[in-house]
Chain A
Amino acid sequence: AIRMTQSPSSFSASTGDRVTITCRASQGISNYLAWYQQKPGKAPRLLIYGASTLQDGVPSRFSGGGSGTDFTLTISWLQSEDFATYYCQQYYGYPYTFGPGTKLEIK
């Protein structure tokens, strides 16, 4: 199975900050990479797919990049509602696998 890693595992930031989370795949996955946001007690929400395509309804302050094995999720102007845990996921092939998550906390 393809192993996904993320860094950092947790991060403290302030509203208005720009933050970047990185995700790495253990083998090349082209652009078959999705990012999800999850808040406590809620189901995950798809933010980005195809490494850089914004899902409908997702604010444009979210952006994704990368291809192959290295990917990024950037939030350009943190809002209070963005404090959550973020997961990357590869769908290059089964079994799908998720990264361990990055918890974004308020400083």
Chain B
Amino acid sequence: QLLESGGGLVQPGGSLRLSCVGSGFTFNEYALNWVRQAPGKGLEWVSGITGLDNTYYADSVKGRITVSRDNSKNTVYLQLNSLRAEDTAVYYCAKDRYCSTNTCPMDHWGQGTLVTVSS
């Protein structure tokens, strides 16, 4: 239901745009998140965007990344700028579960796309 793309090898200081296409649900009704996992490390929530286009970022990436969505294309994007070696990770797209509160757990995840920052 979620399919990421756009990962690859990029030099330090470079930029990359990741995409995540959703299917099987009413895309514009759900918040979408980006979660990353560095090789051999744990999960790190990076960014989220609500159905109303409110955006949120982890302190570790604030100012260097931008999340956006195009509901007409059922797609959420993550623009990564000024990339560093420590940004090397698998980036997962994850959908919020339907819930009655403003913040919800993530019930569906994509397979991830690998971003490698290296010269």
Contacts and interface: CB of A to CB of B under 8 A. Distances in A.
B53 to A, nearest CB: 14
Which size class do A's interface residues fall under?
A: 20 to 34
A34 B44 contact: no
Nearest to A87: B43
Contacts, number: 64
Contacts of B35: 44, 98
B86 interface: no
B45 A95 contact: yes
Interface in A70-93: 87, 89, 91-93
Nearest to A56: B107
B77 interface: no
Contacts of A101: 42-43
Interface in A38-89: 38, 43-46, 49, 55, 87, 89
Given A43-B111, A87-B42, A94 B56 contact: yes
Which 4 pairs across A and B sit closest by C-beta, in order of nearness? A34-B105, A43-B109, A94-B56, A49-B105
